[in-house]
Amino acid sequence: GQSLEQPSEVTAVEGAIVQINCTYQTSGFYGLSWYQQHDGGAPTFLSYNALDGLEETGRFSSFLSRSDSYGYLLLQELQMKDSASYFCAFPLGSNTGKLIFGQGTTLQVKP
């Protein structure tokens, strides 16, 4: 079947770097996305990887290895406002609205 696995919680200190991993199982792969959600709020898009390698967007980067069915989100220079839940997700086809999300990783940034 298709699924994504993420750690449920990660804790880090302000100013540090943290990596949130996502491993997936799928019969066909069409890219991996990352979303951020502050407590109870709307998820917002962070990053997308269709090919292997690193995508950088400011303090956030996302990495993908299709051969390992693995990706991660890297957050640098952590700030208190980065405390949130982070979800990885992938579509089940190249032209489908069917999307699967991981269960989410809650990041707590401590002073």
Partner 1 sequence: EAQVTQNPRYLITVTGKKLTVTCSQNMNHEYMSWYRQDPGLGLRQIYYSMNVEVTDKGDVPEGYKVSRKEKRNFPLILESPSPNQTSLYFCASSFRNSPLHFGNGTRLTVT
Q: Which residues of the chain form contacts with partner 1 (CB under 8 A)?
A: 8, 30-31, 33, 35, 40-45, 48, 87, 89, 91, 94-104
Q: Cβ closer to partner 1: 39 or 111?
A: 39
The CA distance from 87 to 84, in Å, is 10
The CA distance from 102 to 33, in Å, is 10
Query: CB 111 → partner 1: shortest distance, Å?
Result: 26
Contact by Cβ (8 Å): 19, 82 = no
3-state DSSP call for residue 97?
coil
Query: CB 3 → partner 1: shortest distance, Å?
Result: 11
Query: CB 12 → partner 1: shortest distance, Å?
Result: 21
Q: Cβ closer to partner 1: 3 or 15?
A: 3
Instruction: Give 8's DSSP letter.
Output: S
The CA distance from 76 to 56, in Å, is 11
Q: Cβ closer to partner 1: 9 or 14?
A: 9
